[in-house]
Amino acid sequence: MEKKSCCKTMQSHINFKCERHTNPWNCPDYILFYLPKVKMYGIPIQGTEGDVIEIKFCPWCGKKLPKTRMI
């Protein structure tokens, strides 16, 4: 199921799937993640196993993103 977002550019990045890399943290083409469990948008830290820098505003349209839910 495709994830919805604030703008088309953001949506294209959170729905991106790489055909060459099985691990998104080793793929330079993944520049943004949406983690639905905590409702967090973030930039992956390449070469790690799951570290993300949280963002609070869309880098393309500037809209404020939903508040992250802590688990």
The predicted model scores a pTM of: 0.79
**Predicted local confidence at residue 31, as pLDDT:** 92
Indicate the residue type of 68.
Answer: T
Cβ–Cβ < 8 Å for 5, 34: yes
Per the structure, how many domains does the chain have? 1
Task: Write out pLDDT tens, residues 13-71.
Answer: 999 999 999 888 888 999 998 888 888 999 998 878 788 899 999 999 999 998 888 75
**Predicted local confidence at residue 64, as pLDDT:** 95
With a CB cutoff of 8 Å and minimum separation 6, the contacts of 27 are: 18, 20, 21
DSSP lists the bridge partners of residue 43 as 53
Note down the domain range covering 7: 1-71
Within 22-66, strands assigned E span 33-35, 40-44, 52-55
